[in-house]
C-alpha cells in the first residue's frame, strides 16, 4: 500500500474548499423598493440575523450578522432575545 503524503491530502482539501466557495451566494446591495426579509436564528449562547431582499420572485442575500450573548442577555426570554438580535444586527451596519 502506497503512503499518501500530508501535502497531497492538504492540497486535495484546499481544492474541495475552493469548489464549495465558488458557489456561495454573493451579497447584494439593498434596493430601496425591494421587499425585505429578516430571518433570525437564536440560541441560548448566540444569535444570527440574515437580511434578504426579494425582487422579481428572487431572493438575494444582503447582510448576515452573528454574535454571542453577553452576561445577563443569556437570561432574557426568547422574544426579548429575538428583538435584541434584530436591534444589534441593524445597529452594527
| pTM given for the model | 0.61
Assign 48 to helix, strand or coil: strand
**Annotated domain spans of the chain:** 26-91
Walk along the chain (93 residues) and give the pLDDT tens digit of each residue: 667 677 677 788 888 888 887 776 677 788 888 999 999 999 999 999 998 999 888 888 888 889 999 999 999 999 999 999 988 888 865
Residue 1: per-residue pLDDT: 62
Distance CA 58, CA 9 (A): 39
Topology of domain 26-91 in CATH is Ubiquitin-like (UB roll) (3.10.20)
User: 77: which residues sit within 8 A by CB, 6+ positions away?
Assistant: none
Residue 45: per-residue pLDDT: 92
Is 92 within 8 Å of 64 (Cβ atoms)? no
Assign 53 to helix, strand or coil: strand
User: 56: which residues sit within 8 A by CB, 6+ positions away?
Assistant: none
Amino acid at each position: 500500500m502506497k503512503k499518501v503524503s500530508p501535502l497531497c491530502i492538504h492540497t486535495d482539501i484546499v481544492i474541495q474548499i475552493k469548489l464549495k466557495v465558488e458557489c456561495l451566494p454573493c451579497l447584494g446591495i439593498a434596493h430601496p423598493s425591494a421587499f425585505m426579509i429578516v430571518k433570525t436564528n437564536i440560541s441560548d449562547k448566540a444569535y444570527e440575523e440574515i437580511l434578504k431582499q426579494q425582487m422579481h420572485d428572487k431572493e438575494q442575500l444582503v447582510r448576515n450578522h452573528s454574535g454571542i450573548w453577553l452576561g445577563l442577555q443569556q437570561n432574557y426570554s426568547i422574544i426579548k432575545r429575538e428583538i435584541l438580535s434584530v436591534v444589534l444586527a441593524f445597529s452594527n451596519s
